[in-house]
Amino acid sequence: MAVSVFSRLKEDIESFIARDPAARSRLEVTLTYPGFHALLTYRLAHGLWRRNWKLSAKLLSYLGRIVTGIEIHPGATIGRRFFIDHGTGVVIGETSHIGDDVTIYHGVTLGGIAPSVDSHEQVNQKRHPTIEDRVIIGSGAQILGPIVIGHCARVGANAVVYKDVEPKVTAVGIPARAVMPRDKAKAGEFQAYGTALDDIPDPVARAMDGLRGQVTALLARVEELEKEIEQQPREAAAQDQSDSDKDQDKRSNVVSIGE
């Protein structure tokens, strides 16, 4: 157990070095990074939780929250090479399940939305999200309920997600909408804060482009109708003139016959 915990912590330190350009050394990460301290506390508390030392696990988790400002329930399941950047305000609920190589930024909540009434019936029930491998969750994002965020997905900053997110897409907005990156080959690459600003089509701009196209089509149709309306009096006048000429010819013929 101890070997496994410290082996994972070594991997966690390496993940901080790999994903944070401000991290200058392993010693710096170990001594000064609250995200790593929270993860260290969680790894130890989770071991106690699995041994059914629930109160000890909660006390250790509580101390970790006081020191780091990061709340990770000891009952949550977190995979390898987990990276919490900055970290303040992160909340990870009891039944959350997090895969390998996941990145979370400050202010993220992995929460449950089950009603508070009859809470005893929710014990041991899945209430929190499942985050699959290589997911990146931007700062301030709220991921709520027993939903699944697919592998290599991205959740943009301040997004509110309460439905499943497919693998290799980016979810942005309130409520979150899934958008596909222009270059799908880059979907699995690391992107700070979960949003590649130069690769994600802007849904608002796309909607505006669609509206512009519709307006252009409507204007063209209006011009056609205006031309038809302008043409109608001319055609009517021409028809009237033709009818008048025919009547005149008939009268002329009648007069000629009478003579």
| Domain assignments of the chain as residue spans, ordered by start | 2-200, 202-259
Residue 20: the pLDDT is 87
pLDDT the model gives residue 217: 86
* Integer angstrom CA distances of residue 220 from 199, 209, 210, 234, 244: 33, 17, 16, 22, 36
What's the rounded Cα separation, in Å, for the pair 93 and 76?
6
pLDDT tens for the chain, 259 residues long, are: 455 777 888 888 998 998 888 889 999 999 999 999 999 999 999 999 999 999 999 999 999 999 999 999 999 999 999 999 988 999 999 999 999 999 999 999 999 886 665 666 677 788 999 999 999 999 999 999 999 999 999 999 899 999 999 998 999 888 888 886 655 555 555 566 556 555 555 666 667 777 888 888 888 888 888 888 877 776 666 666 666 666 666 666 555 555 5
Q: What pLDDT is recorded for position 9?
A: 84
Host H or E run for residue 177: strand 177-179
Distances (CA, A) of 113 to 88, 123, 163: 22, 14, 12
- Which pLDDT does position 62 carry in this prediction? 95
- pLDDT in the model for residue 242: 65
In which region does residue 90 sit, left (phi positive, over 0), alpha (psi from -120 to 50) or beta (all else)? beta
Query: d(Cα 136, Cα 151) in Å, to the nearest integer?
Result: 9
- CATH homologous superfamily of 2-200: Hexapeptide repeat proteins (2.160.10.10)
What's the pLDDT score for residue 40?
Answer: 93
CA 168/CA 188 separation, integer angstroms: 7
Cα gap 161→143, rounded to integer Å: 5
pLDDT at residue 28, as a whole number: 92
Chain centroid offset of residue 173 CA:
6
- Its pTM surpasses 0.75: no
For the record, the structure tokens of 168 come out as 């290799």
Token digits of residue 1: 């157990």
